Amino acid sequence: MNITPTRLPGVSLIEPTRHADDRGFFQEIWNSRSFADHGIIADFMQDNHSRSHRGVLRGLHHQLVQPQGKLVRVTQGAVFDVAVDIRPDSPSFGRWTGHVLSAQNRLMMWVPPGFAHGFLSLEDDTDVLYKCTAIYAPANERSILWNDPDIAIQWPLDGQSPRLSAKDAAAPMLADGARVMA
């Protein structure tokens, strides 16, 4: 497997090794020993699967208590996957990184605890699967406005408006009350 650091410390792009032959392919998605050898230590508690139409934007989500690390991959379609550093004492606080994850490129992204996460679906019927290091806790979930000008994520929207949930559309900006990690 190839693991490439992004511009945010702790966030990594992962390309699993694929073994293919005339029968199909096999690839290992998670191996705690191999990931630990690359500095990624996680105890996954929950697996999630979402399907989205093109133009759906989900996020930017995080949990105040029991922050979740996420190992994100796409099994069908493509997304622009984003992590935002929300650790108040971090030198990269408020900075973001974004990468295309797709069924075709097979890349995964490791988003450690302490980061907000979101993605924009680039194709219809895009399936995103992600492993989480903490159980979803709705009372602790928070959102940050997807187009917060202080974060300035360059979403590949091609002049279109994203499709948002009511919760994500009403999310506060980071500086205006989006509480972050303590």
Neighbours of 68 (CB within 10 A): 27
pLDDT confidence of residue 177: 61
Q: Look at 17 and 127; give whichever has higher pLDDT.
A: 127
**Cβ partners under 8 Å of residue 112, min gap 6:** 10, 11, 40, 69
What global pTM score does this model have? Answer: 0.93
* Mean predicted confidence (pLDDT) in 61-65: 92
* Mean predicted confidence (pLDDT) in 99-113: 97
Active site residues: 61, 130
Is the confidence at residue 13, as pLDDT, over 50? yes
Is the confidence at residue 77, as pLDDT, over 60? yes
> What is the percent of the chain where pLDDT is above 70?
97
Residue 91 CA to residue 168 CA, distance in Å, equals 26
**pLDDT grade for 95, boundaries at 50, 70 and 90:** very high
Residue 101 and residue 11 in contact, taking contact as beta carbons nearer than 8 Å: no
> pLDDT digits over 132-169, tens only?
999 999 999 999 999 999 999 999 999 999 999 999 99
Q: Which domains does the chain have, with CATH numbers?
A: 2-20+28-176 (2.60.120.10)
> pLDDT digits over 36-57, tens only?
999 999 999 999 999 999 999 9
pLDDT confidence of residue 107: 98
Q: Determine the length of the chain.
A: 182
